[in-house]
Structure 1
Amino acid sequence: MNTDIRRRAFLTGATLAGVGALAACTSNEEPPPAAATAPQGAQDAPGKRVTVGFAGPQADHGWLNAITVNARAEAQRHSDVELVVAEGSNDAATQSAQIDALINRKVDVLVVLPADGKQLTPAGRKAMDAGIPVINLDRIFDSPQAYRTWVGGDNYRMGVNAGNYIGQQLKGQGTVLELAGIDTLELTAQRTQGFDDALANYPGIRKVGRAAAEFTVPTGQARMAELLQAHPQFNAIWNHDDDQGVGALQAVRQAGRSDFLMVGGAGSKAAMEAIKSDNSVLKATVLYPPTMAASAVRLARLLGQAKGVSDLAEQEIPASVTTFSAVVTKENVDKYLPVSFE
């Protein structure tokens, strides 16, 4: 990722009745920072112009904002891509209406990060039935008939890697806590399952407490304070999300605690800088990179141009792409700082 790209505004507004603002961006201007700007490949030569519709939840925390930043910046890299961005919404009915508007606009490809995969499955099916390929980003639809390709993180492996790191740091002995994300999301269940399965490899380690926050600073602080009060002694905690981790660390400081280690999740810039400084209980974070949005736009462009991925033998775009949940520590943080998010 090129981190010295200068920031500039590049959105032009458009309005669709009843569904809020849509913004179109083309690539004749420089992309903002925090974008996935991998080296150009054989398929980057300009081709048929592709209009990509993008619909996602409201950017109510840093990771979701970084998703939209990465999508827009990737579109800016390509002179043959127009990205039409629907206003983010956490309401399934509103997001469904936005997808309807993008279908009616006859975009070539649709990239959707659904607020709720189950509730938005019919909207994905509708687009596919209309002949518009759907790239399902992150939160997965209930049916593969609702999307052409899924691009997302490995939530289960995220939990596994966090659990194994903690197990190794504790040398197989001790007690741990878990500060999860939103419990109604399937991804939270997958992260917890991976964490529990990894801890099963360390019979001397017991998970003695768990609480669920909501990916926000206030809920992270509140739930962490409750865990600290309920557990005056423990050795490690895994926090699923670095945004809520800001609040969790505030609670730790307020409690004057430094007798355990903490592992974060997602890979925010604040978390990586804390890991690099090594001045808090936060010693590692497990990546869930928002650069997946750039990959989704890149694949949408190739789908719209009937191209494959140049480094693969197959002529078609893969049906799924799963990012890897690397563990970021003080030893390797400089490698991953360029892909962190605000």
Structure 2
Amino acid sequence: MPETPRLSAAATRRNLLFGAAALSSGAFLTACTSNEPKESTGGQAADAPVADDKPGKPVTIGFAGPQADHGWLNAINVNAKERAKKYKDVTLEITEGSNDTAAQIGQIDTLINKKVDVLVILPADGKAMTQAGLKAMRAGIPVVNLDRIFANPQAYRCWIGGDNFGMGLNAGHYIGEQLKDKKNAKVVELAGLDNLELTKQRTEGFDAALKNYPNIKKVARQAAEFTVESGQAKMAQLLQAQKNFDALWNHDDDQGVGALRAIEQAGRDDFFMVGGAGALSAMQAIESGDSVLKATVLYPPTMAASAIDLARALGQNKGIGGMAEFEIPSSITLYSAVVTKDNLKQYMSTGFK
């Protein structure tokens, strides 16, 4: 009787990975944050409990993200680094970060060659970098795909990210509830880059919510570029064109800094503003109460800390505490909470600079 061929360790691990990915069911979970306000240094919930802080098998996690040229992206890096420090059994191999797809693929190749145990990847372009995720998975390295999703579910073991449609939906419902008793209410929208799918999803969610309020009409929409400068310029155009409206939804708190400058320069205070993402500057403005900004809808950068939790669990063959399943979910969508002055203390520690 011929001897049964033995699979290599990498091949065995690869089979387990793809099998687990096919069997695991998706889950939609909300982010948890501390109820105590803490000084924020980069959009992290400083006292959020780690998933399982009892030391276990040592795990080396490779982290590859884009260039931190935006407050939210910088907070992603900070969250990943700080979360890894909480675990004595985790070693973090973090790349320099790049918005160039070819450069980021090269960085991922380096991490694969170093034989890290798990990879956490926030791709500069999810569709263009799908092959990088597939390569890691085929090498027996499980991938936690962060936010910008790969085009093929076989390119990752677990995806965790924000809810762009939900972000617009919650912004729309908040505005709708504030204006539900006002006849012929008018709202305007300062969107992000229109060539990004996430911008379209945020607008779709916003429009879906407004359909529940027949007394409200969206009278203008202007796309900006997620920068302070574009926010100021595009908001100035909106204010010039729209002499009378009741509420503004701005997709991004970084460009919101510029939008608030334009509003102040125009001397306008006849409407209220809802921001997006959860920057510390936005939360501080809400707290002070001396501007039109009254709320911001979260797109939590704490997802990077959770991605480290998930990567560690994968490296140690663990599930998630509080869930009955033996495996981590294949998909986790975070909730876009609306932060106002009433619940600000709960979320202030997650505000990013």
* TM value normalised by structure 2: 0.86
Does residue 49 of structure 2 align to residue 39 of structure 1?
A: yes
CA distance in 1, matches of 2:40, 2:195: 38
Q: 2:250 aligns with which of 229, 236, 239?
A: 239
Does residue 233 of structure 2 align to residue 222 of structure 1?
A: yes
Counterpart in 1 of 2:9? none
Q: 1:50 aligns with which of 56, 59, 63?
A: 59
Q: Are the counterparts in 2 of residues 37 and 74 from structure 1 also a CA contact under 8 Å? A: no
CA distance in 2, matches of 1:221, 1:129: 46
Does residue 191 of structure 2 align to residue 177 of structure 1?
A: no
CA distance in 2, matches of 1:237, 1:317: 39
1:79 aligns to what SS in structure 2? coil
CA distance in 2, matches of 1:118, 1:3: 38
CA displacement 1:69-124 (0-9 Å, x = unmatched):
00000000001101111111111111111111111111111111111111111111
CA displacement 1:124-176 (0-9 Å, x = unmatched):
11111111111111111111111110111111111110001111111254111
1:1-342 matches, cutoff 5 A: 1=34, 34-40=44-50, 43-171=52-180, 173-342=184-353
Letter of the aligned partner of 1:38 in structure 2?
A: A
2:244 aligns to what SS in structure 1? coil
Q: Are the counterparts in 2 of residues 54 and 85 from structure 1 also a CA contact under 8 Å? A: yes
CA distance in 2, matches of 1:232, 1:108: 57
CA displacement 1:223-268 (0-9 Å, x = unmatched):
1111111212111111011111001101111111111111001111
Q: Are the counterparts in 2 of residues 154 and 323 from structure 1 also a CA contact under 8 Å? A: yes
CA distance in 2, matches of 1:332, 1:237: 21
1:284 aligns to what SS in structure 2? strand
Query: What is the deviation of 1:40?
Result: 4.5
In structure 2, relative to structure 1, the CA distance for the partners of 1:196 and 1:187 (3 Å cut) is same
Which 4+ runs in 1 deviate beyond 3 A? 1-7, 32-37
Letter of the aligned partner of 2:129 in structure 1?
A: L
Query: What is the deviation of 1:44?
Result: 2.0
CA distance in 2, matches of 1:246, 1:279: 14
1:167 aligns to what SS in structure 2? helix
In structure 2, relative to structure 1, the CA distance for the partners of 1:5 and 1:160 (3 Å cut) is closer
CA distance in 1, matches of 2:295, 2:138: 44
Mean Cα deviation higher: 182-191 or 62-71: 182-191
- Number of residue pairs aligned between Structure 1 and Structure 2: 317
Query: What is the deviation of 1:39?
Result: 2.5
Larger Rg: 2
Q: Which has the higher strand share?
A: 1
Letter of the aligned partner of 2:321 in structure 1?
A: S
Gaps of 5+ in 1: 8-31
In structure 2, relative to structure 1, the CA distance for the partners of 1:5 and 1:51 (3 Å cut) is farther
CA distance in 2, matches of 1:323, 1:101: 30
CA displacement 1:33-86 (0-9 Å, x = unmatched):
835542255x32111111111111111111111110000000000011011111
Mean Cα deviation higher: 159-168 or 179-188: 179-188
Q: Are the counterparts in 2 of residues 264 and 271 from structure 1 also a CA contact under 8 Å? A: yes
Letter of the aligned partner of 2:322 in structure 1?
A: D
1:117 aligns to what SS in structure 2? coil
CA distance in 1, matches of 2:218, 2:333: 28
CA displacement 1:268-288 (0-9 Å, x = unmatched):
111011111111110100011
Gaps of 5+ in 2: 1-33
RMSD: 1.8
Q: Percent identity?
A: 66
Q: Are the counterparts in 2 of residues 139 and 187 from structure 1 also a CA contact under 8 Å? A: no
Q: Are the counterparts in 2 of residues 266 and 289 from structure 1 also a CA contact under 8 Å? A: yes
1:111 aligns to what SS in structure 2? strand
* TM value normalised by structure 1: 0.89
